[in-house]
Structure 1
């Protein structure tokens, strides 16, 4: 039996140069891609498959996207960042905790390993959790808070905007913060301090910077992706110009270790510079594509009265140019390049047209 890799309706992606047929059907191939190969596109399609088209093999990860391995029995690893400060990760999500003289401060509790976070802390100390800091409101980063040991009624610190969002959501897994701030807040516990600051709506309202100055560690979640393509739609950011400016702000801050909330390893200043370079390329390529593609070009005359069809066709042509151009430089530099390059081209196109 030939291996079925994709289901396509007739003329579904004609824009990409794929031939139409009279009868919808299944595209087949004699064998799946061999190890080490990327998913092979259909004839005349861009090298990177578009959104919604399943492939049989993603691009291999470059070395720069890889981090230390996990003990599969534990499902997480703990990395010391400096005096009494630790990162916990499952190599997909990241959180931190800080031990001080009489307790523990936890920064974020992703639900993917929140039940294990208590174990990670217990490996270091028997002191109770006295404080929790929320980087922002999203459930994938703090939705495990309810699984922590909350027996000592910890103080929960977050930005004002985060409190408003969580009060609206009324999610028992994400208790509403008990202490909030607008611009800056210094969390002083024993001989340690965490400096919290807000720099506006980038990823979402309330997404804060968490600085551990003694440990030369900065935590900013969902803004930088060390060694990786940014998550889809530029990290589903509400304010893309604000998000881009926050990446540049991070590069100027004094840190040596960057906890980003995602992917396989700590970030460095070079990682931030690399993302700025990619962001700049993405913005420039999309800007050029918006100018060089006519708004109406080759569309069926019967669709001229369909406003959404005109927009869809124009932005699709812009995205194709964006993906094709970026692939030449970035496909072997960023982990997961082929997963979200289409999403990010579309997100930048939308931002440049309307923001």
Structure 2
């Protein structure tokens, strides 16, 4: 039986050394005789087409798998007295019903139609305000489905939106500045906190204290290892600052914009611990894997090739260690960790202070 722990103990290093390093073939194993003594269709005979190999990944723990939806392709979860999370596949939005209307945080294109239906199933009040978590299309590209809502964004987000000039991501009518802003909408107090550039410049933490609800997109993926490079993050040290900003709040529910469920304080703490371990392990391997050995493998003048060989070695070593420590604790440590480690190498070399973290 293959499970997360046996895969880690029985060959995790091979599994993470590179895409396809360890693979299983769907169906009958190649070369296995069929019951009548003939070769099976998947046999690698002269006239047979070898079955495609799929890289082996650690099985997902039950705690991160999709929860049942309502049969219409989405799930609504209560997150406070009058706050709700809408989960469609792998994306999430939040809305809060106030005395004067609905405040919505994010509108992913993948939720188009379903998000409006979900809100209408709870209230007949209109969406009066829309808060941009940040500028990325996969989270805000359906904002035009709510044309009468006042769009709100941090100034750094607004700057990026202006550069995009994308009709699907219109400019905000209300722009917030600085690290802390407080909105009062329909009797609801809303805190907009900006800890500085993180996943993206202008990516804010939205806090509804009455609902005990914290929302910050693309920083913490509850129960999961991060996406590749923390989603091509603008500033990796800012990811840690964002975790700390979340943990300063008093909340019951955390919404991260992705994955199949919401999170708790324990999820945020676990994600922070993984970040610190990731960073420190990468830094350690940068110091222990000689760059000179990598450079000796390529043409002396080809600086890019030397960097490629060295970074790949650091990344593979880092992923192997993190899979051993975290592979049974959180999902998908064996997928993007090597890619992300490459980003961490660059960030350690260019972004971080000597004593970080």
Give the Cα separation in 2 of the matches to 1:298 and 1:353.
17
Q: Which runs of 5+ in 2 are unaligned?
A: 22-52, 352-357
Q: State the superposition RMSD in angstroms.
A: 2.4
Which of residues 301, 305, 313 is equivalent to 1:317?
313
Evaluate the alpha carbon distance shift between residue 87 and residue 321 of structure 1 in structure 2; reply closer, same or farther with a 3 A threshold: same
Any conservation in 2 of the 1:91–1:265 contact (CA below 8 Å)? no
Any conservation in 1 of the 2:12–2:323 contact (CA below 8 Å)? no
Any conservation in 1 of the 2:205–2:246 contact (CA below 8 Å)? no
Any conservation in 1 of the 2:206–2:215 contact (CA below 8 Å)? yes
Give the Cα separation in 1 of the matches to 2:299 and 2:7.
33
Any conservation in 2 of the 1:85–1:215 contact (CA below 8 Å)? yes
Task: Find out whether 1:291 has 2:287 as its counterpart.
Answer: yes
Give CA deviations for 1:307-350 in whole Å, capped at 9, x if unaligned: 11111111111112111211111112111222211112112111
Which of residues 250, 254, 259 is equivalent to 2:250?
254
- Per the TM alignment, residue 63 of structure 1 is displaced from its structure 2 partner at its CA by 2.8
Q: Secondary structure at the match of 1:64?
A: helix
Match of 2:25 in 1: none
- Describe how 1:43-192 pairs up with structure 2 within 5 A: 46-50=14-18, 55-71=54-70, 73-146=71-144, 148-150=145-147, 153-183=148-178, 184-192=180-188
Give CA deviations for 1:186-242 in whole Å, capped at 9, x if unaligned: 222222222112111111111111110011111011111110001111232111111
| TM-score after normalising by structure 1 | 0.83
Give the Cα separation in 1 of the matches to 2:72 and 2:307.
49
Give the Cα separation in 1 of the matches to 2:224 and 2:112.
24
- Describe how 1:209-224 pairs up with structure 2 within 5 A: 209-224=205-220
Give the Cα separation in 2 of the matches to 1:160 and 1:225.
25
Give the Cα separation in 1 of the matches to 2:127 and 2:294.
63
Give the Cα separation in 2 of the matches to 1:272 and 1:199.
16
Q: Secondary structure at the match of 1:350?
A: helix
Any conservation in 2 of the 1:201–1:238 contact (CA below 8 Å)? yes
Give CA deviations for 1:100-151 in whole Å, capped at 9, x if unaligned: 22321111001101221110011011111111111111101000112x242x
Evaluate the alpha carbon distance shift between residue 149 and residue 180 of structure 1 in structure 2; reply closer, same or farther with a 3 A threshold: closer
| TM-score after normalising by structure 2 | 0.82
- Per the TM alignment, residue 46 of structure 1 is displaced from its structure 2 partner at its CA by 2.9
Give the Cα separation in 2 of the matches to 1:321 and 1:169.
38
Paired residue total: 316
Match of 2:303 in 1: 307
Evaluate the alpha carbon distance shift between residue 317 and residue 101 of structure 1 in structure 2; reply closer, same or farther with a 3 A threshold: same
Any conservation in 2 of the 1:158–1:179 contact (CA below 8 Å)? yes
Any conservation in 2 of the 1:330–1:337 contact (CA below 8 Å)? yes
Any conservation in 2 of the 1:51–1:342 contact (CA below 8 Å)? no
